[in-house]
Structures are given as structure tokens and as C-alpha cells.
């Protein structure tokens, strides 16, 4: 399966995406300019769903991120999305099992922020036979370092330690797609698992990064 990866769109909906069998979006879908839940719900219903309609992929899977307040504060307002939405849940596509994990460690009281204890409880729900994890934030120590100049060029590991522990435990894990730390956009392989930070925007919220494709 050829998986096209995106994250941290913040309202930017790219055209001319690469060919693939499945598109995955690892959160922060809604515009960063307005966090009102009614606005986000309407934007998802009209703009996001219209964009999804025109994409060529047979399957599209997404999760929420820390800016996507409507999914946490007002889930009843979330319209029916024209894709698979995962929140502590799984979907199987062409025999590939994907799990959605929108949560990140506490930082400035954003959506889906959780304590380490809460994160540990959640990651332990990830099934043993999971092939792909969509996680808004990265696992600790893997594509989680901020190196943008506004952070004085110092690498700071900001990933989720609970997720890292669970990732290291899963025997069949093939792919982890995240975002959240825009400047850590990259792809690496550790053992049998490929890790992608699929952020689409840079730290200035400008679409600056290429779209990465993984075949599993």
C-alpha cells in the first residue's frame, strides 16, 4: 500500500498531491486563525469536505490535533466527514490496521493535552496488531526536536514519552505518522518501523514542506 502523508494543514488544503492508495492526515486540520468551535464545524462541513471530495484517493484517514478544538469541546458539532476519522480507534484498510491518537503532552492548555499518566492509559489501548499509528505529536526522541531559529537554534525534544514506550513494544508496527513539531518535518526508519513527521507548514505557518509518501 502506498500511503500519502500530511499533517498540520492549519486550513491550507493542497492541490496536486502525489499518487497513492491512501491519504492520512495527522491532525491540525482547521485554520489556525479561528478556534471557535462553530467556525471549525462549518469549515469542516464546507471547505474540508469539498476538498476531500476532489481528492483521488480510495481511502482517506484523519485524526484531530491540538488546534482542532471542535473535536474535543463539541464533538456533536462535528459534521459527517468524507473520510475515516479516528480518535482512540482503529480502521482496517486493505488488511492494514491503523490507530488514531490525537493526544499530546500538556503545553499551553491546547486541545487533547493530557498528563503523562493519562497518556499512558490511552496508549495502552493501542492494539497489539496495529500496523500504522496516526499520532498528532511525535514519539519522544523521534522527529520531535524544534530547531527553528526562533527557538535559538537549540534542539528541544518535545515528543510523548508514553507513546515512545508503546511504539517500542508493538511487534508489527510498520509506520508512525505525526506532525505537531513543524520544523521536525522528515522521514526516518528505526528497525522495521518508518517514522514520518508530515507537517505541511513551517514554524511561520507557511506551506513550505514536500508531501512524503511511504510504501508498506
Cα 85 to chain centroid distance, Å, stands at: 11
* CATH hierarchy code of domain 2-215: 3.60.21.10
pLDDT digits (tens, 9 = 90+) for 53-73: 999 999 999 999 999 999 999
pLDDT digits (tens, 9 = 90+) for 89-104: 999 999 999 999 999 9
pLDDT digits (tens, 9 = 90+) for 152-192: 555 677 899 999 999 999 999 999 999 999 999 999 999 99
Q: pTM of the entire structure? A: 0.95
Instruction: Name the residue ranges covered by the structural domains of the chain.
Output: 2-215
Q: Average per-residue pLDDT in the chain?
A: 94
What angle (nearest 5°) sits at the alpha carbon of residue 8, between those of residues 2 and 11?
110
Inter-helix orientation angle 161-169/116-123, to 10°: 20
pLDDT at 150: 60
Instruction: Give the whole-angstrom CA distance, residue 144 versus residue 137.
Output: 8
Amino acid at each position: 500500500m502506498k500511503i500519502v502523508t500530511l499533517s498540520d494543514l492549519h486550513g491550507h488544503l493542497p492541490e496536486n498531491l502525489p499518487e497513492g492508495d491512501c491519504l492520512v492526515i495527522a491532525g491540525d486540520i482547521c485554520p489556525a486563525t479561528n478556534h471557535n468551535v462553530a467556525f471549525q464545524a462549518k469549515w469542516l462541513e464546507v471547505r474540508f469536505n469539498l476538498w476531500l471530495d476532489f481528492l483521488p484517493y480510495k481511502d482517506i484517514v484523519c485524526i484531530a490535533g491540538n488546534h482542532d478544538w471542535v473535536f474535543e469541546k463539541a464533538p456533536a458539532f462535528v459534521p459527517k466527514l468524507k473520510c475515516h476519522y479516528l480518535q482512540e480507534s482503529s480502521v482496517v484498510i486493505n488488511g492494514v490496521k491503523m490507530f488514531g491518537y490525537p493526544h499530546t503532552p500538556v503545553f499551553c492548555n491546547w486541545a487533547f493535552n493530557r498528563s503523562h499518566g493519562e497518556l499512558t492509559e490511552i496508549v495502552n489501548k493501542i492494539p497489539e496488531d496495529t500496523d500504522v499509528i496516526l499520532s498528532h505529536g511525535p514519539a519522544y526522541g523521534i522527529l520531535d526536536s524544534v530547531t527553528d531559529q526562533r527557538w535559538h537554534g537549540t534542539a528541544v525534544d518535545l515528543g510523548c514519552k508514553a507513546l515512545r514506550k508503546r511504539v517500542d513494544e508493538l511487534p508489527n508496527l510498520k509506520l508512525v505518522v505525526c506532525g505537531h513539531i513543524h520544523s521536525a518535518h522528515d522521514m526516518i526508519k528505526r528497525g522495521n518501523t518508518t517514522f514520518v513527521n508530515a507537517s505541511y507548514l513551517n514554524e511561520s505557518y507557511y506551506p513550505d514542506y514536500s508531501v512524503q509518501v511511504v510504501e508498506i
